[in-house]
Structure 1
Amino acid sequence: MRMNPVIARSFDPYLLPRVEDAGLNASAPPQQRWLDGWLVRFSPGKAKRARCINAVAPGRMSVAHKLALCEPVFEQAGLPLLVRITPFSEPAGLDASLEGMGFARIDDTRVMVLEEVSNIVAPVLPPGITVQPVGLEAFAQRVGALRGSPLSQRVAHGQRLSQSPVPFQAYEMRLDGDVVACGQFALEADLVGLYDIFTAESARGLGHASRLCTHLLAEAHRRGARHGYLQVEGDNLPARTIYHRLGFADAYAYHYRARNPAAA
């Protein structure tokens, strides 16, 4: 029987559960409810973390019974039912149980951790490049436009950011006045999470993402951050290379289970 995803390397035993909790807090949408130990989220936005089941505690019901109760929630929201599987998912063996029920595995994702943000030094920006803060709803529109996301997803993203239980700070990087990259961070106690790091297609390969991430981390450290984290798709090798260079290391993996992968 397959186990749930495992932690990739040794870290402080208290740090990674805190990182997982911080990621859940930072991605919390208004549309969520608890069901027997499962955090059920059904936001219409792009981020799967905000429109899936997070199996946080084992609960008392069977997996099949809980899925049956979750299905109408996603149907009414017009969303496919997704289950996020992490090393912390409950009950143990959930991943194998879902596989046995015909749920396909999709979207291998890595959580990367930077153990000491204090090692990051604020970058010296080349001539013509500026980094400036931007409002959260404006940021959701900006990054959504760069991604080509539909308006409904941009609105849901802005709503989630503006109502987040942890504060976000969003930034744009401009070259001679044109936006070439954007990103934001969520700060919870001494943890900083990087989110929505995105470079315009025409400006990739020029070091903008690395400079922006360094700027965000240095600013978060100034505000009290000690440890950094982020989530990145496992096959996004260009982004993972940038994060490795900044000092991030793979901490653990997660993926999703879906009955209909094409609809996810």
Structure 2
Amino acid sequence: MNDHGLIIGLESRLLNAWPSFDYQAYDGWILRFANGYSKRANSATPLLPHAALDEELLDYMIARFVEANVRPTFRLNGLQAADVDERLRLRGFKEIEPTHVLVAPIPQADCEPDPEVELAPQASKRWVREAAASYGGDKSDDETLMKIVSRIRQKAAFATLSLDDKPVAWGLGVVERGYVGLYDIVVAPDLRGIGLGRRVVSSLMAWGCGQGAHSAYLQVREENEVAHSLYRALGFEIAYGYRHRVMPGRSS
């Protein structure tokens, strides 16, 4: 059984750490839009236990997605009413990208980041450009990424790890009320698997410790066993999961 208090607490922090451009609230649900960049910033998410979704509200929210030119997407984190998933399935919404939210305690004995990991309080154009390029695909839009991270109002650290003066790994930490959220952990494609991501994560956790955080959280897709292995080694455990239900496109 999911811990609703933990889910609400972490989901609230996530909303603040990864801001969208537009927010709309409907009966325990929050709709977020950010020009389609990342599903978590462009989806309907329940924020109250047993958030209900009848046909009328579903149709209304679908229309809001269409107006925003965003694919209708519901991010189901366990707070929704028991019949919501089946209702969406019957309406043709496809289940994709099951994801885990992981949490780990931060060792309080070591709050010193890796000295080779540069931590900046604000995103530079270079950080955004290089991190987006290493992500590639639909997350290579550096202009939208800059708009998102520029909206962060919590204390943040933008991490860059360089080898021979060349940036090769990036990450973002956002601290709020005892937790540091880890976002956009990415390593240059040709240098993955040699521990660079671990150094960035460890440094952001240490930074969070210095800001008063006792725990770290992050999100990783269920299928990403390489990342799960890394995070298990750093003490992360599954707190809860979420999955997306998306309206099929014309080609689906």
What's the TM-score, normalizing by structure 2? 0.88
Write the letter of the residue equivalent to 1:132.
E
Whether the 8 Å CA contact 1:112–1:251 is kept in 2: the answer is yes
Cα pair distance change 1:39/1:15, threshold 3 Å: closer
Between the aligned partners of 2:240 and 2:140, the Cα distance in structure 1 is 31
Candidates 70, 92, 96, aligned match of 2:82 = 92
Distance 2:99 2:180 in 1: 19
AA aligned opposite 1:104: K
The answer to whether residue 55 in structure 2 is matched with residue 67 in structure 1 is: no
Partner of 2:209: 221
**Pair 80,151 (structure 1): closer, same or farther in 2 beyond 3 Å:** closer
What do the CA deviations read for 1:216-250 (whole angstroms, capped 9, x no partner)?
Answer: 10111011111111000111111111111000011
Q: Which runs of 4+ in 1 moved over 4 A?
A: 58-62, 119-125, 149-152, 261-264
Equivalent residues in 2 for 1:135-174, closer than 5 Å? 135-138=122-125, 139-149=127-137, 153-174=141-162
Matches for 1:1-264 after TM superposition, within 5 Å:
7=2, 14-57=5-48, 63-89=54-80, 91-118=81-108, 122=112, 130-134=116-120, 135-138=122-125, 139-149=127-137, 153-260=141-248
CA change 1:239–1:42 in 2 (3 A) is same
Cα distance in structure 2, aligned partners of 1:112 and 1:253: 9
How many equivalent pairs are there? 250
Distance apart, 1:92 and its partner CA: 3.1
SS in 1 for 2:71: coil
The secondary structure found in structure 2 opposite 1:180 is strand
After alignment, is 58-67 or 38-47 more displaced? Answer: 58-67
Query: What do the CA deviations read for 1:95-145 (whole angstroms, capped 9, x no partner)?
Result: 1221122211111100001134426564666xxxx2113432523322111
Distance across 1 between alignment mates of 2:139 and 2:222: 27
Say which SS state the counterpart of residue 158 (structure 2) adopts: strand
35-44 vs 188-197, which deviates more?
35-44
C-alpha distance in structure 1 between counterparts of 2:17 and 2:250, whole Å: 27
SS for the counterpart of 2:180 is strand
Shift of 1:68: 1.4
Alpha carbon RMSD of aligned pairs, Å? 2.7
> Any stretches of 5+ residues in structure 1 without a counterpart?
1-5
8 Å CA contact 2:114–2:203 kept in 1: the answer is no
Q: Give the share of equivalent positions with the same residue, in percent.
A: 28
Alpha-carbon distance in structure 2 between the residues aligned to 1:60 and 1:106: 21
